Structure 1
C-alpha cells in the first residue's frame, strides 16, 4: 500500500486526521460487499475483496482527476437472502441493511461530508441501496451518489466473456485470481451447471438456478484481461464523479 492510498483510508486515521480528511474530501465512499457463497472454487469473501481492492483503485487514481476520496471500511455484509441455502452465506434483512446505509450516511454527514458515494459490488444490494440513498438525499439533505462497479465495466466484460459471466463465473474468478490468487481452488473450476432460466417468474433461491452455486464458465477466466477492465472502469467512474463537481 502506498502513502497516497493510506491517506485515503478512514480506518487508518486518528480522529484528528479524520476531521481534516472529512473537510477535504470531495466524496466520502462506502465500499459495499457481501459474505456469501461463490460456487465451489471461490471464497465467501469475493464481493468484499472486490469492494476493498477496486475502491482502492479509485482512491489511488482520484488525484489524477483532481479528486479526493475518503474511503470508509468495507461493509462486508449485504442482502444475500437468495444465497442463504448455501453454507457460509450471511445475510442482513433488506430493512436492516437500508437502515445501516442511512446511519452510515448520517454519521459522515455529521462529520462534514457533503457528498456520499456508495460503491457497490454485490447485485443483491442494489434495491436496498437505492431506497436508502433516496432517503438520505430527500430526508437528510445529503448529496448521495451510486456506482455499481460492474455496470461501468459491462460492455467490456460482455465483449470478452459473452452474457453468461455472472455470479462466480469468468469475471469474478478473474478478479480473485488478480488480487488473491491463493484463494482460488483451480482444481475445482468447472463450467457451472444451470438448472432453470426464469424469464418472468421470480426465483426463490440461487440453488433454483444452478447446481454448483455459480453461473458461466470460470475455466475461461482471464486475470490479465481483467487488468485492462480495471483501468478502464476506474477511469469511467472517476470521470463521472469529476463531472459532478463542474
Structure 2
C-alpha cells in the first residue's frame, strides 16, 4: 500500500493538489556497527522510526511529508574503518541549503531534521541556514535523547550497543548476526580525564578506541526491549510532528 506521507512512495497524481505543513528529513550514516549489525543500521532505524511516527501523525490529521533518508553522515573519526563513508559538515550544509531552497520556494516553511547518527552535528548548520532563510522554521532531534534509556536497557553505550541491537532485533532481525558473533563493545576512554566528563570534547579516533567498532555492551539486547523503546519513541515523535504542524510561526513564544 502506498503511504501518502512518504515522498518516495507517493506520486504526482496525489501530490499535484496536496499541501503539507511539515517536511521531515531523516539523516543517517553508513558505518560499521560492531561485528553483528549492518553498515546501514542508522538508516534502517531512521527510516522506520520516522515512517511510523509519520503514520500516527497523519492518521490524526497532521499534514506531514517524509523526505528520503540521507544515507551518509559525518564519520571523520572513522576515516580508517573500511568503507565507513564520510561526508563533511560543509557538505551537509550544502545539501541542506539546496533542500531548504526547494521547500521554501514551494511554501513548506517547516523542516524537521531527524538525526539517526551521533556524529552528525546540526546545530551550527541550523543557525547558519536560519539566518539565510528567515521564513523557514528549522529544527532537529536525535532520538536516543528522547527518553531515559535506563528505563529500557541495562547497559550504557552509544554505538551498536544494547539499544541499537535491540532496535535492529525488532526491526530487521534477519540482518543481525547470531549472538555468538557479537563483539563486547568495550571501549577505551581518554587518558585526559577532563575529556571524559562531558564539558570538554575532542573527537575519538575510532580504531584506537574500540576493537570491534562498538561502544557499549550489546549482550542483554532483545527484540522485546527494542519494540517497547521503538513504540514509545514513535508515539512521542508523532506528537512533536503534530505540534510543529499546528505551530504559528508568528507566535512561537509565551
The equivalent residue for 1:102 is 97
Query: Aligned partners of 2:4 and 2:65: how far apart in 1?
Result: 8
The equivalent residue for 2:45 is 50
The equivalent residue for 1:196 is 189
The equivalent residue for 1:17 is 14
The equivalent residue for 2:174 is 182
What pairs with 1:81-230 in structure 2 (closer than 5 Å)?
81-125=76-120, 127=121, 129-140=122-133, 141-153=135-147, 155=148, 157-162=149-154, 164-186=156-178, 187-197=180-190, 198-199=195-196, 200=200, 202-230=202-230
Tell me which protein shows more helix as a share of its residues.
Answer: 1
| Alignment coverage as a number of residue pairs | 237
Q: Is 1:40 the equivalent of 2:35?
A: yes
Query: Aligned partners of 2:64 and 2:224: how far apart in 1?
Result: 27
Pairwise CA distance, 1:65: 4.0
Query: Aligned partners of 1:20 and 1:165: how far apart in 2?
Result: 46
Pairwise CA distance, 1:91: 0.5
Residue 26 of structure 1, aligned match among 21, 25, 48: 21
Query: Aligned partners of 1:144 and 1:56: how far apart in 2?
Result: 19
Gaps (5+ residues) in structure 2? Answer: 248-254
The equivalent residue for 1:233 is 233
What TM-score does the superposition give when structure 1 sets the normalisation length? Answer: 0.88
Query: Aligned partners of 1:44 and 1:107: how far apart in 2?
Result: 30
Pairwise CA distance, 1:233: 1.5
2:154/2:220 contact within 8 Å kept: no
Aligned residue for 1:31, secondary structure, equals strand
Q: Larger relative CO (CA 8 A, sep 6+): 1 or 2?
A: 2
What root-mean-square deviation, in Å, do the aligned CA atoms of Structure 1 and Structure 2 show? 1.9
